[in-house]
Amino acid sequence: MTTQTILPLTTIAQQTQQAARQLAQLSETDKNALIESVAQSLEAATDEIITANQQDLTTALANNLAKPLYGRLKLDSVKLKAAIQGVRSVAMLPDPTGQVTLHRQLDTGLVLKRIGVPLGVLGIIFESRPDAVMQISALALKSGNGVILKGGREAIHSCTALVKAIRQGITEAGCDPNVVQLLTTREETNALLALDKYVDLIIPRGSNAFVQYVQNNTRIPVLGHADGICHLYIDEAADIEQSTRIAVDSKANYPSACNAIETLLVHQDIAEKALPAIAQALQAESVALRGDEKSQQILSNTPHLNMLNIEAATEEDWATEYSDLILAIRVVDSLAAAIDHISEYGSRHTEAIATTNPSAAETFLSQVDAANVYHNCSTRFADGFRYGFGAEVGISTQKMPPRGPVGLEGLVTYKYQLIGDGHIVSTYSGENAKPFTHSDLPL
């Protein structure tokens, strides 16, 4: 890392921090007008953006970019129109700042308030999807935060054209365009991670390995999750037809999603009945199965199954996020054993139980430590849009809040504001200390 790289980035970050401080002062109406101006500017720049995207696509073809990445990189007029609509819909979300969550008189004339405020500056590092630029910028503006974007190299022309249009829209609304900035080189990623004086939250969007790299290489808080090893546990009292449906949806609906299951746990007393039905349904969806000894025994007696497609599961399987149409199966001898397995191998993301026994469900929901704990439904519901947040900035598997699917409110913090009239602490300490009143006032 040379100083040539670091110095301008520090300047960029300072500019963003300064611009964000002004943005934070805007009313909700002004912020919404700002977002509308950005949407219009993006519309006006449609041709320029699509031309830039075609440049990236040409390079991608020449470099033989993998097909799914190529698909994500592509930004045609339909996708762009939808993304601009997405920008406008962010303006409709409730403002996550300004809420007073504590209002208390400490003594006559001495009043405390806890008020929601923007975090400051967000650092977002994402892969090749250029539409992410628009969504993230809109979310940052709505929450009053500055944002430093670092896009993938493959999308450099697209991102540059998009950010140019976004900054133009911000300028036209009379605000400082430095509130949105774009970095384009890999060296800048590392430099960004070191800017804990200017950047308040890092949101990495990419592979597990990348997220882990970010988590291990910055002192800035990171919103995200490295692994998504989720489980569905079929209890002895499960409804087999319902469990089958949930298992298929949890695995096959979108196997590369972080909230898809990787391991199915089945209670031994229902395994002989449930496993054949579930295994058949999963094979019908092309899911390759890996079973422990007991489940292999049971399934080897099941007609119509393709046993060639059921490998033995090893210790390594319990700890693997396949992100693919592969599912490990383990027979457990009790609910407690299922919870222990999840505690050992789960990544605290989303864990589900299928059972008709309310007491088993209650034990599972309360004892399993995960951001999302489910009863009789698919793990795939773990998502900010499905939860009704209107937007999702990430899913966090850390223990401290914000945890689970995080909407706009994950981009804000609060501060305590105390207003007095010459009040000093020595009045309330020592002999003849005046007592505090500590009476809550209306919010």
The contact set with a second copy (CB under 8 A) reads 21, 24-25, 104, 106, 110, 112, 114, 119-120, 200-201, 215-216, 219, 221, 239, 242, 245-246, 248-250, 253, 361, 365-367, 369-378, 380-382, 386-388, 398-401, 403-405, 413-426, 428-429, 436, 438
- Smallest gap from Cβ 151 to a second copy, in A, equals 24
Cα distances (Å, whole numbers) of residue 222 to 118, 141, 193, 371: 16, 19, 10, 16
- Smallest gap from Cβ 187 to a second copy, in A, equals 23
Q: Which residues contact 315 (CB under 8 A, 6 or more apart)?
A: none
Cβ-based nearer residue to a second copy, 61 or 441: 441
Cβ-based nearer residue to a second copy, 170 or 339: 339
Cβ-based nearer residue to a second copy, 165 or 370: 370
- Smallest gap from Cβ 398 to a second copy, in A, equals 7
- Smallest gap from Cβ 246 to a second copy, in A, equals 6
Burial 241-262 (b: 16+ CB within 10 A, else e): eebbbbbbbbbbeebebbbbbb
- Smallest gap from Cβ 379 to a second copy, in A, equals 9
Contact 109, 420 (CB under 8 A): yes
CA distance 203 to 126: 8
User: Which among 72, 48, 32, 11 has a CA at the least distance from the CA of 206?
Assistant: 72
Cβ-based nearer residue to a second copy, 204 or 404: 404
The residues pairing with 105 across neighbouring beta strands, listed in sequence order, are: 111, 439
- Smallest gap from Cβ 145 to a second copy, in A, equals 11
Check residue 204 and report its DSSP letter. E
Check residue 236 and report its DSSP letter. T
Beta strands (DSSP E) in 21-173 are 100-107, 110-118, 121-126, 146-150
Cβ-based nearer residue to a second copy, 267 or 349: 349
- Smallest gap from Cβ 351 to a second copy, in A, equals 10
User: CA dihedral in degrees (80, 85, 86, 92; nearest 10)?
Assistant: 160
Token pair 């191998």 is found at 345
Cα distances (Å, whole numbers) of residue 380 to 371, 384, 443: 13, 11, 36
Cα distances (Å, whole numbers) of residue 166 to 151, 300, 343, 369: 15, 59, 45, 41
Q: Which residues contact 86 (CB under 8 A, 6 or more apart)?
A: 131, 134, 135, 138
**DSSP conformation letters of 313-366:** P-HHHHT----SSEEEEEEESSHHHHHHHHHHH--SSEEEEE-S-HHHHHHHHH
Cβ-based nearer residue to a second copy, 39 or 287: 287
CA distance 318 to 227: 13
- Smallest gap from Cβ 203 to a second copy, in A, equals 12
- Smallest gap from Cβ 262 to a second copy, in A, equals 17
Q: Give the Cβ contact number of residue 296 at 10 Å.
A: 19
Q: Between helices 268-284 and 240-252, what is the axis angle to 10°? A: 50
Cβ-based nearer residue to a second copy, 5 or 417: 417
Cβ-based nearer residue to a second copy, 312 or 441: 441
CA distance 242 to 244: 5
Cβ-based nearer residue to a second copy, 293 or 436: 436
- Smallest gap from Cβ 294 to a second copy, in A, equals 26
Cβ-based nearer residue to a second copy, 92 or 418: 418
Contact 330, 271 (CB under 8 A): no
Cβ-based nearer residue to a second copy, 242 or 283: 242
